[in-house]
Amino acid sequence: MNFRQFRGIDAPENEMPYGKEAKEELTKIVQGKCLRVLVYGEDQYGRCVADIYCDGKFVQELMLKKGFAWHYATYDQRLELARWEKEARATRVGLWASSNLEKPWEWRKKNKKKGQKRIRRKDKSEAKKLAALKLDLKKWNKAEFDNVTIKKQHLWNKLNDLDVREETQPLTVEEKLKQIDLRTKIEKLTLLEELAFCALEGVTLVFLPRFKWNYHILMRMGHVRMHRMT
């Protein structure tokens, strides 16, 4: 149960001085016991705001008298709550044994701003990662498309050598496999050339799902309009 759900009082957060002690005290009061909860509405976070009774005892009264909560006068002006806090202050029990304590609502407001700063720093970090990813993609595009014609011509030369040799003598099994591999690579580079042209000219590319790899390549080119024929 969250202290801020208790109508009229506010207790220190766990990270604040006396936060753990306040939680332990509340646990002693309510754990394993039957509670009577009178709900009066909801707070700005949609949580129920209620008066809590445990074995006929008013829990807010116990927390205030033991010095483990503040009277939250901004939202509840009941005089008895103010009186119970004043009594605890006078006897310096609980958190009132210390002076200059920060109020929990002020602490939350201050730490909310710190949390927002951490989020902004995280956003900047994510932006840097995205920029690095875009740079890598740009390098990949340059490596793939800038040298397509040169790569293709180099493969054509190798394939032509094998074709000429095949006219005069049978090719070995290894040479046959290499011949097939060269033709496949040339087909891929031809598709890359078409993609580059489509990207520049805004042409719609129609292709058949003949090869599995051509669909994957096209999917990486999001700025090229595609129609897949089945």
Query: pLDDT in tens for each of the 230 residues of the chain?
Result: 444 479 999 999 999 999 999 999 999 999 989 888 888 888 877 788 899 999 999 999 999 999 999 999 988 999 999 999 999 999 999 999 998 889 998 998 888 766 555 556 666 777 778 778 777 766 766 665 566 677 778 888 888 888 888 888 898 999 989 999 999 988 887 777 666 555 554 444 444 444 444 444 444 444 333 444 43
Against a cut of 0.75, is the pTM above it? no
Residue type, 215: Y
Summary count for the chain: helices (H), strands (E): 7, 7
CB 49 within 8 A of CB 43: yes
User: How far lies 41's CA from each of 30, 50, 71, 76, in Å?
Assistant: 22, 7, 18, 13
Angstrom distance (rounded) from CA 12 to CA 111: 13
CB 66 within 8 A of CB 50: no
CB 193 within 8 A of CB 149: yes
